[in-house]
């Protein structure tokens, strides 16, 4: 699975990025690039960018470049391409995400991410497992699943809805804050949760093992099991 912001370097072109996807397979299809040849015969390589702080940072120093290949062709020199890819991402991707949200999956587990910056929505899955993030900041909606397992998260801030599963196992979360709905399962095992806040519905099961919650309020609709 692609991690961070994904792109493609073509030997004869500028870095190839698409705001609608972080999947290399989707990017290869979108740009009509054949990835079946041996690496030494290819004129392209796949890369990823990982945040070193805020996800919407426009400082090149706050991004790490990583080549997503087992080997590299002779023409590829990282020092020539890394900054070009970072600057292209800051120019093409970050402003769009700040204004309209990220429309695709965003996989950031075990990165040095500390903040989502100005991001307000994610259309696909958002994986923040084992990150240093403590708050979701301006984020209001995740269309897919949201994984915060073992993150340093203490607040869901302005988050109101998650379309898929929400994983909060082992976090320091004590309340769900403004969260109203979870389309999939809500996993709170071992979290420091003491209140379900404004939660109205859980599409599937609600897992509350090893928490201080012993009863679910009647106004919370749960589509699956309640595990206490």
Written as tens digits, the pLDDT of the chain (228 aa) is 688 999 999 999 999 999 999 999 999 999 999 999 999 999 999 999 999 999 999 999 999 999 999 999 999 999 999 999 999 999 999 999 999 999 999 999 999 999 999 999 999 999 999 999 999 999 999 999 999 999 999 989 999 999 999 999 989 988 899 999 999 999 999 999 988 999 999 999 999 999 999 999 999 999 999 999
What per-residue confidence (pLDDT) applies to 28? Answer: 96
User: Which of 54, 220, 66 lies closest to 138, judged by CA?
Assistant: 54
Partnered with residue 95 across adjacent β-strands are none
What per-residue confidence (pLDDT) applies to 1? Answer: 60
Helix (H, G, I), strand (E, B) or coil at 219: coil
> Does the model's pTM come out above 0.85?
yes
Number of other CB atoms surrounding residue 14 within 10 Å? 11
Contact call for residues 135 and 117 (beta carbons, < 8 A): no
């Amino acid at each position: 699975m692609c991690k961070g912001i994904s792109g493609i370097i073509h030997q004869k072109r500028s870095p190839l990025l698409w705001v609608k996807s972080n999947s290399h397979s989707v990017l290869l299809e979108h740009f009509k690039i054949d990835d079946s040849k041996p690496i030494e015969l290819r004129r392209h390589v796949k890369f990823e960018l990982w945040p070193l702080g805020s996800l919407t940072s426009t400082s090149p120093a706050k991004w790490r470049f990583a080549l997503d290949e087992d080997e590299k062709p002779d023409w590829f020199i990282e020092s020539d391409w890394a900054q070009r890819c970072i600057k292209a991402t800051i120019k093409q991707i970050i402003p769009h995400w700040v204004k309209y949200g990220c429309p695709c999956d965003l996989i950031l587990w075990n990165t040095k991410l500390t903040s989502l910056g100005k991001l307000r929505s994610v259309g696909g899955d958002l994986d923040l497992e084992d990150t240093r993030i403590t708050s979701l900041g301006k984020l209001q909606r995740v269309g897919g699943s949201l994984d915060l397992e073992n993150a340093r998260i203490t607040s869901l801030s302005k988050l109101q809805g998650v379309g898929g599963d929400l994983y909060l196992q082992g976090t320091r979360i004590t309340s769900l804050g403004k969260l109203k709905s979870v389309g999939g399962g809500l996993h709170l095992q071992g979290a420091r949760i003491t209140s379900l806040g404004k939660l109205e519905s859980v599409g599937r099961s609600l897992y509350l093992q090893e928490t201080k919650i012993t009863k679910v309020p009647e106004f919370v609709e749960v589509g699956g099991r309640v595990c206490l």
